[in-house]
Amino acid sequence: MKNNKNLSFEEAMEKLEEIVDKLESGSVKLEESVSLYEEGIKLKKYCEDKLKEVELKITKIKSENGKIIKQNLQKS
């Protein structure tokens, strides 16, 4: 994979889905399959990292006495 740091999460997922489709089709040669698999692993990690990053930014909103209070989610 060239440079996945400039990809959005959605773009990375789309590329990953394309790779999975190619691999499942069985129409690619062995060498290309290995290369696609390696790229897919990198994209999977990138997507997981993006999700973790977003998860840390999510705030929990709860209402207490008519007021909305935002709290950062804590990882357990």
Beta bridge partners, 72, equal 59
28 within 8 A of 37, measured Cβ to Cβ:
no
Higher pLDDT, residue 72 or 46 = 46
Cβ-count burial of 28 within 10 angstroms (0-12 exposed, 13-18 middle, 19+ buried)? middle
Q: pTM higher than 0.85, yes or no?
A: no
**pLDDT tens digit string along 22-67?**
999 999 999 999 999 999 999 999 999 999 888 777 655 555 566 6
Q: Which domain holds residue 9?
A: 4-72
| Counted domains in the chain | 1
Here the CATH number for the domain that contains residue 49 is 1.10.287
Task: Give the position of tokens 């709290």.
Answer: 71
